[in-house]
Structure 1
Amino acid sequence: MRAAAVAALVAVTIGVAVNEVAGASNYLATCYYGTWAVYRPGDGKFDVEDFDPMLCTHGIYGFAGLDEATHKIKSLDPWNDLYDNYGKGAYMRFTDLKKRNPELKTLLGIGGWNEGSTKYSEMAASASFRQTFIASVVDFLKTYNFDGLDLDWEYPAERGGKTIDKEDYVQLIKEIKEAFKPEGFLLTAAVGPGKTTIDDSYKLTEMAKYLDIFNVMAYDYHGSWETYTGHVSPPYMSPLDITNEMETFNVNFTVNYYLDGGVPKEKMAMGIPLYGHGFTLNDPAVHGLYAPANQPQPACPYTRQAGICGFNEICTMLNEGGWTTVRDPDQQAVYSYKDRIWVGYDDLESVKIKTDYIKSLGLAGSMVWSVETDDFRGLCGFGTKNPLMTAIWTNLNGDIPTPVPHTTTPRPTGPTASPEPTMSPTEICKKAGLNPNPVKKCSPIFYDCVQNGDHWIVTMEVCAAGTVFDGSLDTCVWISQSDECD
């Protein structure tokens, strides 16, 4: 529910807004979703229905982009994002997660690393371009039922931006916030961890007047762009950091630098990575922090990018055996090595350290990048799916809420709807739209069938935990509510 009263509460204090936004939760649990994971192979494929809305107070869909010619927001993957032209409609399926958890707030992220900085710099520098952009955002959020925008400009005044971006960024978010107030939309921003970026890009005290939440990206402190090993997100400083002039490359420095710079603790969500950065050691006998490593770790099977692996990939590797795991006593960060491979990551104990830190400082809560790299299929033996996200939620907020029965939203009608089928049914697709599992009744699996020319496009969907798809009702219901379950 969006209302002016909620917007007013958010503007006064995030401490109050947490209760408005997240029901019984005491702390924010903001969850980014990198939607390109839908194209990953095998057990790495992650679609909207794999997102657990009970483990998040805010879900952020990453990413939309900025049209350089029109200065309007746009979809970066129309086939996945939209229902138009027989697309998958992930925007609306994502915002429909609020039907399973009415307390969830869904936001649309715009930007990201690959979008760069130049076109955002150009848009923010012009009053007319800003107004064009903001009007398009308001319309976009209304159309797809989002509750707000997460601005992920990486970064003002850097990567092709201009020095004046620092001032223009404040003016941009001020004008966005003014346009959002009548709609009750939230305005959040992903902000960088490095001291140089903070100094170059942000006027923190001014930004704090308009942003509801600062999503502090407290990760990527070290990675395979360096020639030595280093942890992706060390909580604290090591004496070796001093030796290597890396004193500011840790979570504790970043958080306190934002606080000292004027960001209210009630507006800060501290980032926790659900992935790790890996290296190939020059010498397997030299395997501590700052060990020489001129090459990245070979690509993992799902993320398929050298030097970075999701926690779901890391825990699978560790289960194969032969690894040595070390928790550095100064940084309180964990890493593992085997032969010449070295990887730093966050585990369950890391999550406990960081969530205790969040509570000790009275921050607004946590943020994760990103949900599709947790062990979301529960294959690593932790006794639950999403073990890191589950630990974050329970350490901050206690028991996980119970989902409401899931109701599937029919495909929209009108000019973007699929035509009625003129072709013969198949074993799976008896009709256009939703079809039950043909192999087994009382199943959580169902299929969305769309006619495309002379063939069906079939998407397998899965109901929420504890519910099944009822073919007679054309929706997901509790098992006890389905006549198909005996």
Structure 2
Amino acid sequence: MASFVIVLALAIFLIATCAAKEYKIFCQYDMKSYYYKNTSLFYSWKIDTRLCTHLVLGTGIGVNEETGAVKVKNNDLLDKDLLIHGTNLKYDSVQKVIISIGGFDEDSQIFSKMAASDKRRAEFCKSLVDFMLGMGYEGAQIDWRYPTQRGGYPVDRRNFVLLLQELSLIFREHKFILGVVALGRTDKQTLESYDIPEIVKNVDFVNLMVDDERDKYNIRLSYVAPLFGATNSVAAGVKHWKKTGKSPDKLILNVPFFGRSFTMDTNQSAVGSPCKGPGLPARNSAIVGFTTFNEYCTQASKWSNYFDKVAKVPYATRDNQWLSFENSESIWAKMHYLKKNQLGGAMAWTIDADDFLGNCGIRFGLLSNIHSALGDPNALTTQAPTTEASGICPRDGLIRDKWECRYYYECRNGKRFDYECVEGQFFDEAKGYCRPAKEVKCDQDFVVWRPGMPVYSYENLPLNLKVVE
């Protein structure tokens, strides 16, 4: 009997352990971040895919207004190879590479027109599948902002479901996954946009967000994604979608990695106080009412920083500027709520806005907090990302090997992981990735010895000797 109890306890422990590691971590990459300046400029190869289970490529694909077919929004994505082939991104822990269609800059009426026509819906589905097969993507996220709103029509609610039903059937044949971006607010206008039970039934995941791009034009100070308290709180949205959709495991909690800024009207800095409108554009992203976390964190000491213990979010003030953003404390609070409500995982929105260079601490600081809070997503993969090696770690980050520029290693929390660039490339420590050898300054300060060469004696043995077999 005692042995049975022990076995049963062990089984329960293993089940609980596995369950704790089944959360999905979606990492959305905003391809428009290519246009950011200086240290905010982001490329896909800077992504630390070990922190993600799913990678989403966003803002690059839209809908042709006349035919309904998918289209590349900007030729720069093709000219500069920003629209990366999925097979070049699916490594380390990433299970699926997903393309997102739409976004706030895509006119809602274009989606409305496409979804209302049998012919255009069919063309949309066919062209999307062809595009995904050609690019090696394994999933799609429909980012319609928003059905029935921004020039849309009441019939959008029904037509959106029709579109998802048709996509779901086709995607099943190809073993693609299907997701949607949905505004998780509970006001009447937003609730009229979504037939929640039917949407949840026909998709694999719902990227549930409470931030609305229109918020920056508010006349009162407001948080980007308050966990509790406000009418647009994360908790209110999750509660409604969980109750109505009845599939909490399909709900992916959106965590904004950007800040929403406002220009204060008075000295009152409490949330809800009057404001003049959006804040000044940040130096690198250059968008009014918006700043990336990597822009804020390097200047954090110049701001007065606060934390709302009710809403569980930080905010900061500087002169007449007011900023709402996320930090490690707010992210851990959201992840605790996510696990308590048995949601499917989290969406990092977007990873290019994170501190990806580690200027304020470890690289991808916000994403690392999600990773730590939800457990190690590498347990879900079939291939280990790298081998752990012994060695001195002078600091956290990516460091080039002292003797050979092709090799480098990463130090993280006192552990070292060794890497090797492909043949013909050297690691550029300044940029943080491998580049063609001819473009990287490399003083390989070592003496090479190969079998057959004269043997060194103890007296003349170089300290920087490298043996090549």
Is TM > 0.5 for Structure 1 vs Structure 2? yes
The alpha-carbon deviation at position 122 of structure 1 amounts to 1.2
Match of 1:175 among 161, 166, 171: 166
Residue identity in the other structure for 2:300: L
Q: Distance in 2 between matches of 1:72 and 1:399?
A: 35
* 1:312 paired residue number: 294
Over 3 Å counting, the alpha-carbon distance change for 1:97 and 1:472 in structure 2 is: closer
* 2:405 paired residue number: 442
The alpha-carbon deviation at position 126 of structure 1 amounts to 1.4
Residue identity in the other structure for 1:283: T
Do the aligned partners of 1:193 and 1:217 also contact (CA within 8 Å) in 2? yes
Q: Distance in 1 between matches of 2:345 and 2:377?
A: 16
Which of these two proteins has the greater Rg computed from alpha carbons?
2
Over 3 Å counting, the alpha-carbon distance change for 1:281 and 1:111 in structure 2 is: same
Q: Distance in 1 between matches of 2:42 and 2:139?
A: 23
The alpha-carbon deviation at position 93 of structure 1 amounts to 4.3
Q: How does 1:29-428 map to 2 (within 5 A)?
A: 29-63=25-59, 64-80=61-77, 82=78, 87-98=79-90, 100-101=91-92, 103-195=94-186, 196-220=188-212, 223-237=215-229, 247-284=230-267, 286-319=268-301, 321=302, 323-380=303-360, 382=361, 384-398=362-376, 402-404=384-386
| SS, match of residue 201 in structure 1 | coil
Q: Distance in 2 between matches of 1:229 and 1:167?
A: 34
Q: Deviations over 1:33-56 (max 9, x none)?
A: 110111211111101101221111
Residue identity in the other structure for 2:299: M
Residue identity in the other structure for 2:221: T
Structure 1 vs Structure 2 CA RMSD: 3.0
Q: Distance in 2 between matches of 1:301 and 1:364?
A: 36
Q: Deviations over 1:339-391 (max 9, x none)?
A: 222111110001110001100101001112111100011111x2x10000011
The alpha-carbon deviation at position 221 of structure 1 amounts to 8.7
Do the aligned partners of 1:221 and 1:232 also contact (CA within 8 Å) in 2? no
Q: Distance in 2 between matches of 1:360 and 1:141?
A: 35
Residue identity in the other structure for 2:64: D
The alpha-carbon deviation at position 25 of structure 1 amounts to 4.0
* 1:412 paired residue number: none
* 1:8 paired residue number: none
Do the aligned partners of 1:281 and 1:340 also contact (CA within 8 Å) in 2? yes
Q: Distance in 1 between matches of 2:105 and 2:342?
A: 33
**Equivalent pairs: percent with the same residue?**
27
Unpaired stretches in structure 2, ≥5 consecutive residues: 1-14, 388-399, 409-416, 428-432, 436-446, 449-464
* 2:6 paired residue number: none
| SS, match of residue 160 in structure 2 | helix
The alignment's TM-score, normalised by the length of structure 2, stands at 0.77
2:423 is equivalent to residue 470 of structure 1: yes
Q: Distance in 1 between matches of 2:345 and 2:200?
A: 16
Over 3 Å counting, the alpha-carbon distance change for 1:336 and 1:222 in structure 2 is: farther
Pick which of 194-203 and 219-228 moved more: 219-228
Residue identity in the other structure for 1:218: V
Q: Deviations over 1:309-358 (max 9, x none)?
A: 11111111213x3x322211221221111222211111000111000110
Over 3 Å counting, the alpha-carbon distance change for 1:230 and 1:472 in structure 2 is: closer
Q: Distance in 2 between matches of 1:393 and 1:338?
A: 31
The alignment's TM-score, normalised by the length of structure 1, stands at 0.74
The alpha-carbon deviation at position 473 of structure 1 amounts to 11
| SS, match of residue 228 in structure 1 | coil
Q: Deviations over 1:280-331 (max 9, x none)?
A: 22233x2222222214221111221121111111111213x3x322211221
The alpha-carbon deviation at position 442 of structure 1 amounts to 1.7
Q: Distance in 2 between matches of 1:273 and 1:171?
A: 29
The alpha-carbon deviation at position 234 of structure 1 amounts to 0.7
- Count residues with an aligned counterpart: 390
Over 3 Å counting, the alpha-carbon distance change for 1:444 and 1:370 in structure 2 is: farther
Q: Distance in 1 between matches of 2:26 and 2:330?
A: 18
Q: Distance in 2 between matches of 1:222 and 1:254?
A: 18
Q: Distance in 1 between matches of 2:93 and 2:356?
A: 22
Q: How does 1:17-28 map to 2 (within 5 A)?
A: 25-28=21-24
Unpaired stretches in structure 1, ≥5 consecutive residues: 1-15, 238-246, 406-436, 446-463, 478-482
